A and B are shown apart, each in its own frame.
Chain A
């Protein structure tokens, strides 16, 4: 089956001499998939989105939408069948809610436009607001109008550019779930851009972790979280302790003692140990630490500790019924095989 979207060696720099914003990016998205581009500011994720939408032209490489090459010859945004929900929504202030949603439906026969617009507004639960102007709506409502406007023409591919970043924390959570189920119900293929790792983990079927214009790792949220390929991924997605050591097949010698590895390695190695895979223990053979700081989070506690040997700082998640005072001493053990990273 042809993928809905394919990026083929895509590159873009904004001015000659500047470093590339998108650098030889390859990606393929299949029908119905919810994909997230995740990365820090400036990693090229928004530019990738704009290249797909046709709002920017790539320097080299191709974008294929539904198997059709839209970069050579260059297809303007209006001929790509792609929807985009903007970060600041970009609702037309001179049109009503209904007018905004109708805006993208001019290709339909006249008789179908209004039913389609109302149907889409019903999908986002805003039918009663159809005659209001955008400035009369709350942030969350504007957000849903923006989604309805982008969904109404039934695009082959929907792009969402940090759509939740202007909502407050509680609304963000609810809207995210709601939009996810709307997209699922409509069977829409969507690409979300975000720098919020929690959002990426909760929203997507697959995550593309981007760094300096390239895909650092692509996989399901579970795979990327449990099997980070690089130190950058391990630290950007969740928190992680990075330890250097010497590996010999399935074991490695580190400052935390000899610990098991997920995959066999040999020679010098860097391993990632998640804070939830460290536990305080009474085993007298375990390495000793001093507790520097404690963050109580309700369901668990995050401790910052320093290893007695090399003064390295580590993060440890402990259960909330085992309170340990700051400044006290303890011993640590590793409960799961560690992940070797690059």
Chain B
């Protein structure tokens, strides 16, 4: 069978995506290298760079360890034990994703310290989170769901025959877990860990509030306070290098991992372990986690909400909500429109072209948003100054950054709209464009809607791109939580934080539904195999 090249109309978006991400980054490089010789040497060999690098790596590595220590036991409890209700465990594992890191940091700060919620309600002076440990704790609590989702799905999908085989070859349950289950979980851990690493590397808000200097925190500080362009360009480059190294490391570790089920044949349901006397211990773990990641933040927001007495607060909330919803809606449409051709090529084309479009989509997602925003600031000021701090540029940034999020659901739905159906439409007299419009697009409408919803809710929570690129006076929920928290006006931040947590919860439940769909097998007693 011959492979036809996809039409240029579809290829163009992929090329534009790559150009849209790479051109600003290239300009960032030019900008960074454009400094005078002595100035350059002074910047590159500043001892602070090493300190930032060490802090960034230490925080990323530590977060990977702590999130694993939280996510793995919880995923095991939800996937493999008789702890019930399972739905509650799933929610405990996923809902913290609803709380953006800066809202979590806000809540923890507002809960602790003198005059905080905890002291006022109980009289105990609970120290506020700060520095490395504060950043580590908050990032762990609100990013571990990325790992939880991956590990849980893998634990549910593992062929139980592998563990049975190990037992029959003389391994105890503990040895079986170590020698069979853990190696099997490696690819799931790697892809979840990459998401967390990208998140931690790109986060400036939590580390800034915790006063723990990393590359991202330093870029933000340079941008707002010092505004040394060359130095912030160098810092952004440093961040890009670390991110690139993380991507390469993950791809390297992932290579040659063929851990999908090797053999054909029907698989049994995974077996559940009876917890027995460990049950109270398991519940204590879940309760402590839920308390720290959900109840304390939401309780704190509720507490401060009652203290908000500004009569204009609700009117401002309404204004911020309107502009945030408007921007999110437009970005959802543009991003989904860009994601469709990328997903289409990714699922229909073969070989290097498909890989290229896939990478194009992930390029914008993997680029730390602060570095990307900075690059866009420099680029627009140089190439098209009227675009700087305009709404279209902001939407462009959202689109390029979130397109990867929209590609996934469209690709999944494209697998049900097979090329056979388009061929059938062609034989019935449709042009290739007509077949696309009358057969494929209607079939993948649910996927398009899910993609748009993902992007919509992600844009609502987005902070760094909004802070650096939004037009002056453009207020969003995220921007206001950030601004009031920086000023320690906890009551004023509360309404925005609540609105964000609620919209985040909707996104999270969407993810949860998608997570459940691929394995709709109802629980049933094991059956004889034919």
Given contacts A43-B528, A92-B180, whether A77 and B168 have CB atoms under 8 Å apart is yes
Interface centre among A78, A79, A91 (most CB of B within 10 A): A78
Asked whether A86 is an interface residue with its Cβ less than 8 Å from the other chain, the reply is yes
| Contact, CB under 8 Å: B171 / A78 | yes
Asked whether A78 and B167 contact (CB < 8 A) given A41-B530, A90-B161, the answer is yes
Q: Would you give the shortest CB distance from B5 to chain A, in whole angstroms?
A: 31
In this complex, which of A14, A84, A90, A166 has the most chain B Cβ atoms within 10 angstroms of its Cβ?
Answer: A90
> Which residue of chain B is the closest to A53 with respect to CB atoms?
B168
Tell which of A134-142, A197-205, A224-232, A315-323 binds the partner. Answer: A134-142
Do B165 and A90 have beta carbons less than 8 Å apart?
yes
Are B528 and A134 within 8 A (Cβ)? no
Contact A89 B167 (CB under 8 A): no
* Residues of A with C-beta under 8 A to B266: 87-88
Which residue of the partner chain B has the closest CB to A81?
A: B170
Q: Mark A41-84, 1 if CB is under 8 A from B, else 0.
A: 11111110000011100000000000000000000111110111
Compute how far the CA of A89 lies from the CA of B260 in the bound complex, rounded to whole angstroms: 14
Tell me whether B262 and A162 are in contact (CB under 8 A): no
Q: Tell me if B's interface is mostly helix, strand, loop or mixed.
A: loop
Does the CB pair A84–B168 fall under 8 Å? yes
Residues of A within 8 A of B265 (CB): 87-89, 165-166
Q: Is the CB of B171 within 8 A of A93?
A: no
Is A78 touching B168 in the complex (CB atoms < 8 A)?
yes
Name the CB-closest residue of B to A42. Answer: B528
Asked if A41 and B525 sit within 8 Å, CB to CB, the answer is no
Stretch at the interface among A103-111, A119-127, A303-311: A103-111
**Chain B CB within 10 A, most for which of A44, A89, A93, A135:** A93
Q: How far is the CB of B260 from chain A (nearest CB, A)?
A: 7
Q: Tell me which residues across on chain A come within 8 A of B529, comparing CB atoms.
A: 41, 46, 87, 161-162
Given contacts A42-B527, A43-B528, A91-B263, contact A86 B170 (CB under 8 A): no
B499 to chain A, nearest CB (A): 46
Q: Which A residues are in CB contact (< 8 Å) with B183? A: 92, 94
Counting chain A CB atoms within 10 Å of each CB, the highest count among B167, B168, B184 belongs to: B168
Assembled-state Cα–Cα distance A92/B162 (Å): 7
Q: Which of A180-237 contact B (CB under 8 A)?
A: 195
Which B residues are CB-close (under 8 A) to A41? 528-530
Evaluate whether A88 and B530 lie within 8 angstroms (CB atoms) in the complex, with A53-B168, A133-B258 already known: no
- Measured CA separation A88–B526 after assembly (Å): 16
Q: Nearest residue in A to B262 (C-beta to C-beta)?
A: A134
Number of A-B contacts (CB under 8 A): 113
Residues A83 and B528 in contact, CB atoms below 8 Å apart? no
| Residue numbers in A under 8 Å from B184 (CB-CB) | 93-94
Closest Cβ–Cβ distance, residue B290 to chain A (whole Å):
32
SS of A interface (majority): loop
Minimum Cβ distance to chain B for residue A91 (Å): 5
Q: Which residue on B lies nearest to A165, using beta carbons?
A: B265
**Pairwise interchain contact A14-B263, C-beta atoms closer than 8 A:** no
> Which residues of A sit under 8 angstroms from B170, Cβ to Cβ?
78-79, 104, 106-107, 153
CB distance B260 to A149 under 8 Å? Answer: no
Residues of B within 8 A of A15 (CB): 525
Chain B, 151-194, contact with A by CB distance < 8 Å: what is the 0/1 string? 00000000101101111111111000001100110100000000
Q: How far is the CA of A114 from the CA of B324 in the complex (A)?
A: 66
Verify A195–B164 contact, CB threshold 8 A.
no
Q: Which residues of A contact B85 (CB under 8 A)?
A: none
Residue interface bits B126-156, CB-to-A below 8 A is 1, else 0: 0000000000000000000000000000000
Whole-angstrom CA separation of A61 from B525 in the bound complex: 21
CB distance from B127 to the nearest CB of A (A): 44
Given A47-B528, A78-B172, A104-B169, also A84-B258 (CB < 8 A): no
- Interface residue A98 (Cβ < 8 Å from any Cβ of B): no
User: In the complex, which residue of chain A has the Cβ closest to the Cβ of B527?
Assistant: A42
Interface assignment of B34: CB less than 8 Å from any CB of chain A: no
Answer yes or no: A21 CB below 8 A from chain B CBs: yes
Q: Which residues from chain A contact B259 at a C-beta distance below 8 Å? A: 93-94
Q: Is B520 engaged at the interface, CB distance under 8 Å to the other chain?
A: no
How close is B278's CB to chain A, nearest CB, in angstroms? 18
**Contacts A78-B171, A84-B164, A86-B165; A139 near B262 (Cβ below 8 A):** no
- In contact, A88 and B169 (Cβ under 8 angstroms): no
Q: Flag if A149 contacts B167 (CB, 8 Å).
A: no
Q: Which of B512-530 contact A (CB under 8 A)?
A: 525-530
B267 at the interface (CB under 8 A from A): yes
Residues of A within 8 A of B167 (CB): 54-55, 76-78
Within B468-508, the residues touching A (CB, 8 Å) are none
Report whether B258 and A135 are in contact in the complex, using a CB–CB cutoff of 8 Å.
yes
Contact A90 B164 (CB under 8 A): yes
> Residue A18 at the B interface, CB < 8 A?
yes
Query: What distance in Å separates the Cβ of B264 from its nearest Cβ neighbour in chain A?
Result: 5
Q: Which residue of B lies closest to A107 (CB)?
A: B170
Residues of chain B lying within 8 A (CB to CB) of residue A135? 258, 260, 262
* A77 to B259 CA separation, bound complex (whole angstroms): 24
Given the interface contacts A89-B262, A135-B262, does A84 sit within 8 Å of B530 by beta carbon?
A: no
Task: Give complex CA distance A153, B527 in Å.
Answer: 29
A14 to B257, CA, bound (A): 36
CA distance A46 to B170 in the complex (A): 21
The reply to whether B525 and A88 form a contact with Cβ atoms under 8 Å apart is no
Query: Across the two chains, which residue of chain A brings its CB closest to B530?
Result: A41
Q: How far apart are A113's CB and chain B's nearest CB, in angstroms?
A: 12
CB <8 Å contact, B162 and A90: yes
CB distance from B193 to the nearest CB of A (A): 18
Q: Can you name the residue of chain B whose Cβ is closest to the Cβ of A76?
A: B167
Cβ-closest chain A residue relative to B180? A92
A187 and B373 CA atoms in complex are apart in Å by: 72
Q: A43 — nearest CB in chain B belongs to which residue?
A: B528
* Residues of the A chain whose Cβ atoms lie less than 8 Å from the Cβ of B162: 90, 92
Interchain nearest-CB distance for B82 vs A (Å):
14
Q: In the complex the two chains form, is B168's CB within 8 Å of A195's CB?
A: no
Docked complex: A282-333 residues within 8 A CB-CB of B: none
CB B185 to nearest CB in A, in angstroms, measures 10
CA distance A18 to B526 in the complex (A): 12
Given B172, B260, B263, B526, which contacts A90 in the complex, CB threshold below 8 Å?
B263
CB distance from B418 to the nearest CB of A (A): 26
Q: Are B262 and A93 touching (Cβ within 8 A)?
A: yes
Residues in chain A near residue B526, CB distance under 8 A: 14, 47
Chain B residues, CB < 8 A from A43:
528
Q: Nearest Cβ in chain B — how far from A259, in angstroms?
A: 37
Interface residue from B159, B169, B172, B261 paired with A149 (Cβ < 8 Å): B169
Q: Is the CB of B159 within 8 A of A88?
A: yes
Q: Which residues of B contact A47 (CB under 8 A)?
A: 526, 528
Assess the A88–B161 pair: CB atoms within 8 A.
yes
* Interface of chain B residues 243 through 268 with chain A (CB within 8 A): 257-267
Q: Is the CB of B264 within 8 A of A166?
A: yes
CA distance A107 to B175 in the complex (A): 13
Residue of A nearest to B187 (CB): A94
CA distance A76 to B170 in the complex (A): 9
- Given A107-B170, A162-B529, decide whether A84 and B165 contact each other with a Cβ distance below 8 A: yes
Within 26-53 of A, Cβ neighbours of B (below 8 Å) are at 41-47, 53
A104: chain B residues at CB < 8 Å are: 168-170
8 CB-based A-B contacts, threshold 8 Å? A15-B525, A42-B528, A55-B168, A77-B168, A84-B164, A88-B159, A142-B262, A165-B265
- The 5 tightest CB contacts between A and B, nearest first, are A88-B265, A104-B169, A14-B525, A90-B161, A77-B167
Residues of B in contact with A (beta carbons under 8 Å apart): 159, 161-162, 164-173, 179-180, 183-184, 186, 257-267, 525-530
Q: Identify 12 new A-B residue pairs, CB closer than 8 A, beyond the known A43-B528, A94-B183, A133-B258.
A: A21-B528, A45-B528, A76-B173, A77-B167, A88-B265, A90-B159, A90-B162, A92-B180, A92-B183, A94-B257, A103-B179, A142-B262
